[in-house]
């Protein structure tokens, strides 16, 4: 019977055939151990000279790395393997013999690995990261569906930008100008006024000229938007959501977290509620810590976020940033209009900001005033202002960066390994 490595537990003591690639092998005179991979997992195939034809045994000893083949054998329990099973091979059939594989077990530099990203994805580590990424996406959809949100897609080509214009990718749209989306948020507000609670999941593009371990040029965002919800209610959704995702990964990616040698005690404590500090308190905290490079009115840099995160053992919300340094649509705090009803969620262990969110301005007059201040007139923004004229309601939303979240949960140092084909300042290949 044909099966996959992920399904061998359904065929214990049965003979199965699996399509695989050879990941690695060891052999001695009478036995060959084949590390086999099919995408659904890794399994060891044991080829005993006595159990197969002479031809098959010779073949197994000479297999090159990444050769594709069909292996047939009996599934037996094996407590020593991470999977819990191994395959006692009775036959094998080569599909294609691989030529010399460039990624050998020796250490390679980052540039070399990035140039071979299309092959590097086959490694156990990259395999584990992609599986965790998938689980984060899967549990995200599960969480928001469970909470009654509707998944809505925002456009990627737009005539307007939610944030500044300097990091925008510009393109021609026939005779008009268009930009690649930096955030689906403005559209999600329109969707929330139609469907109540919505979320989008899509690619976003930022021509970030900075080279940091946290910034990609193309990355994916999850952007929920909720009608009839204020800032505080939105923070509760955020902490419940992030806890749900972390606990889902702990539950469903045990093998992968083991491969990545992730410190599970760091993840196990990620449960709502999360601590909150105000921006003003954060500035004071940093000054007390001896930072003299930041004042009230400045945005945080990576070292600041790391210092704040280190003072907490869970993700921490920094709330009430100065209106001046945040986006035009954020609602000012009625008790102190110099600050906005907004928050950044900072991940533990130095991974930085994973969520930015706020309550949005719902008052037509105030939004019209903001348009003047920010010179946002023109047809590209007309529709967004109009949303405040037809049954405007308090509403809030946030954006979670998928790759930042993958980096944090997997414990990977650099964001470039959290997306299949990263787009970086100097990289568009492969």
Which residues in this chain contact Mg ion in the complex, by CB under 5 A? Answer: 353, 356
Q: Which of residues 205-224 bind ligand ATP (CB under 6 A)?
A: 206, 208, 214-216, 219, 221
| Residue 353 in contact with ligand ATP, rule: CB under 6 A | yes
Residue closest to 139 by CA, chosen among 199, 52, 203, 71: 199
Comparing CB distances to Mg ion, the nearer of 25 and 326 is: 326
* Least separation in angstroms between CB 357 and ligand ATP: 8
Interface residue with ligand ATP, options 45, 332, 401, 422 (CB under 6 A): 401
Site for ligand ATP in 221-240 (CB under 6 A): 221
Question: Shortest Cβ distance from residue 353 to Mg ion (Å)?
Answer: 5
Q: State the nearest-atom distance from the C-beta of 117 to Mg ion, in Å.
A: 24
**Cβ-based nearer residue to ligand ATP, 191 or 216:** 216
Q: Which residue lies nearer to ligand ATP by CB, 34 or 216?
A: 216
Whichever of 34 and 355 has its CB closer to ligand ATP, that residue is 355
Q: Which is nearer to ligand ATP, 33 or 291 (CB)?
A: 291
SS3 420: coil
CB of 399 to ligand ATP, least distance (A): 4
Strands 157-158, 176-180: pairing is antiparallel
Query: What are the beta bridge partners of residue 199?
Result: 151, 224
Interactions with ligand ATP, residue window 154-173 (CB under 6 A)? 163
Judged by phi (left if over 0) then psi (alpha if -120 to 50, else beta), residue 358 lies in: beta
- We find the least distance from the C-beta atom of residue 133 to Mg ion, in angstroms, to be 21
Looking up tokens 């050998």, which residue turns up?
Answer: 104
Least distance (Å) between residue 401 CB and ligand ATP = 2
Question: Measured from the CB of residue 106, what is the shortest distance to ligand ATP in angstroms?
Answer: 31
Q: Which residues contact 397 (CB under 8 A, 6 or more apart)?
A: 185, 188, 189, 192, 223, 224, 225, 226, 234, 357, 358, 360
Min. distance of Cβ 350 from Mg ion in angstroms? 15
CB atoms within 10 A of CB 337: 11
* DSSP per-residue letters across 294-335: --TTPPP-HHHHHHHHHT-SS-EEEE--BGGGS-TTBPEETT
Kindly tell me which of 86 and 359 has the beta carbon lying closer to ligand ATP. Answer: 359
| Least separation in angstroms between CB 299 and Mg ion | 6
Alpha helices in 96-230 (DSSP H): 110-115, 117-120, 124-146, 185-195
Strand partners, 109: none
- State the helix-helix crossing angle for 231-252 and 402-410, rounded to 10 degrees: 50
- Give yes or no for a contact between 37 and 125, defined as CB atoms under 8 angstroms apart: no
Q: Which residue has the tokens 């210092």?
A: 307
Sign of the alpha-carbon dihedral angle for 276, 281, 282, 288:
negative
Residues 294/286, Cβ–Cβ less than 8 Å: yes
Q: Choosing among ligand ATP, Mg ion, none, which partner's interface includes residue 315 (Cβ < 5 to 8 Å by kind)?
A: none
Backbone angles phi, psi at 43, to 5 degrees: -140, 150
Residue 219 binds what, of ligand ATP, Mg ion, none (CB under 5 to 8 Å, by partner type)? ligand ATP
Q: Considering the rule CB under 6 A, would residue 184 count as an interface residue with ligand ATP?
A: no
3-state SS class at 238: helix
CB of 91 or CB of 353, closer to Mg ion: 353
**Does 352 participate in binding ligand ATP (rule CB under 6 A)?**
yes
Q: Binding of ligand ATP at residue 333 (CB under 6 A)?
A: no
Helix (H) or strand (E) holding 277: strand 276-278
Q: Which does 360 bind (CB under 5 to 8 A by kind): Mg ion, ligand ATP, none?
A: none
Does the protein bind ligand ATP through residue 404 (CB under 6 A)?
yes
The residue count for binding ligand ATP (CB under 6 A) is 17
Half-sphere exposure of 129 (CA within 13 A, CB side): 25
Looking at the Cβ atoms of 166 and 284, the one nearer to ligand ATP is 166
| Cis peptide bond prior to 185, omega within 30° of 0 | no
Name which of 37 and 395 has its Cβ closer to ligand ATP. 395
Residue nearest to Mg ion (CB): 356
Would you say 18 or 221 has its CB closer to ligand ATP? 221
Residue among 180, 227, 316, 354 that touches ligand ATP (CB under 6 A): 354
Using CB under 6 A, list all residues that contact ligand ATP: 163, 206, 208, 214-216, 219, 221, 352-356, 399, 401, 403-404
């Amino acid at each position: 019977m044909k099966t996959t490595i992920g399904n061998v537990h359904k065929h214990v003591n049965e003979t199965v055939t699996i399509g695989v690639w050879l990941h690695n092998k060891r052999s001695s005179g009478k036995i060959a151990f084949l590390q086999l991979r099919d995408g659904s997992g890794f399994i060891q195939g044991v080829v005993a000279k006595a159990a197969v034809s002479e031809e098959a045994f010779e073949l197994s000893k000479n297999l090159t790395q990444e050769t594709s083949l069909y292996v047939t054998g009996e599934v037996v329990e094996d407590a020593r393997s991470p999977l819990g099973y191994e395959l006692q091979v009775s036959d094998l059939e080569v599909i294609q013999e691989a030529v010399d594989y460039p990624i050998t077990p020796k250490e390679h530099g980052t540039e070399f690995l990035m140039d071979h990203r299309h092959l590097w994805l086959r490694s156990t580590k990259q395999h584990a990261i992609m599986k965790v990424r998938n689980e984060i996406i899967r549990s995200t959809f599960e969480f928001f569906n469970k909470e009654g949100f509707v998944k809505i897609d925002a456009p990627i080509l737009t005539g307007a930008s939610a944030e500044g214009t300097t990091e925008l990718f510009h393109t021609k749209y026939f005779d008009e100008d268009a930009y690649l989306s930096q955030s689906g948020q403005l559209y999600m507000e329109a969707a929330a006024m139609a469907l109540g609670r919505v979320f989008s999941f899509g690619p976003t593009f930022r021509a970030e000229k900075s080279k940091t371990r946290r910034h990609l040029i193309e990355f994916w965002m999850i952007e929920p938007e909720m009608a009839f919800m204020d800032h505080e209610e939105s923070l509760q959704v955020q902490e419940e959501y992030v806890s749900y995702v972390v606990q889902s990964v702990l539950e469903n990616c045990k093998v992968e977290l083991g491969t990545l040698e992730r410190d599970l005690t760091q993840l196990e404590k990620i449960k709502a509620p999360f601590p909150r500090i105000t921006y003003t308190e954060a500035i004071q905290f940093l000054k007390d810590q001896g930072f003299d490079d930041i004042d009230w009115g400045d945005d945080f840099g990576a070292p600041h976020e790391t210092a704040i995160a280190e003072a907490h053992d869970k993700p921490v919300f920094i709330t009430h940033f100065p209106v001046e340094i945040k986006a035009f649509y954020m609602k000012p705090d009625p008790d102190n209009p110099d600050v906005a009803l907004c928050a950044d969620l900072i991940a533990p262990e130095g991974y930085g900001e994973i969520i930015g969110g706020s309550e949005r301005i719902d008052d037509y007059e105030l939004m019209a005033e903001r348009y003047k201040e920010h010179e946002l007139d023109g047809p590209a923004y007309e529709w967004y202002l109009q949303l405040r004229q037809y049954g405007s309601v308090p509403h809030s939303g946030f954006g979670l960066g998928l790759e930042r979240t993958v980096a944090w949960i997997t414990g990977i140092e650099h964001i470039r390994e959290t997306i299949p084909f990263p787009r970086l300042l100097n990289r568009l290949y492969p």
